[in-house]
Amino acid sequence: MDRLQGFLSFLKAKRLAQGNFLGLLYVLIGRSIADANGDLISKGLTWRELSVLLQKVRWERDAVKELDIDPDELPPRDRQRYWFVAFARAGLDSQKAADAGKRMAKVLEVEGYQVASGDKAGR
C-alpha cells in the first residue's frame, strides 16, 4: 500500500491526472500497474481501497468536477465516503471511462509505468 500511496503522490505532484481524473480512476480500479522494472504497484483496487488512498494523499476534492459532479452534493465531513459516492456517480462502467482509461494508461507509460490492458473497472 505504501508503493501505491507513493505512486499517487507522484501523480498528484506532477499533475498527470489533471483533465483526466476519470481515466485515472478507471486505471486504478480496473488495471494492474507496475513500475519500469516490472515490480507490481497495484493489481487493481476496490472503491473502498481507492477512497482511503485518495484521502491519505489528500487528493483535491474539486477533481470530481471533471466527472460532472458538484462537490457540494457529496458528503462533506467523511472524506472516504465522499470519494466512494463520487465513484458511484462517475460512470466507471461506461465507454467514456474506458476511453479515458486508455488515455491515462498512455500518460503513465510515457512516465515509465506498465499498465495491463485487462479491464475490470465496473466493480
What average pLDDT does the chain have?
92
Query: Grid coordinates representing 84?
Result: 466512494
pLDDT in the model for residue 118: 65
Which residues contact residue 107 at a Cβ distance below 8 angstroms, ignoring those fewer than 6 apart? 16, 20, 23
Residue with the bigger pLDDT between 76 and 15: it is 15
pLDDT tens for each residue of 16-60 = 999 999 999 999 999 999 999 999 999 999 999 999 999 999 999
Return the percentage of the chain with pLDDT > 90, whole number. 87
> In the chain, where are the structural domains located?
2-115
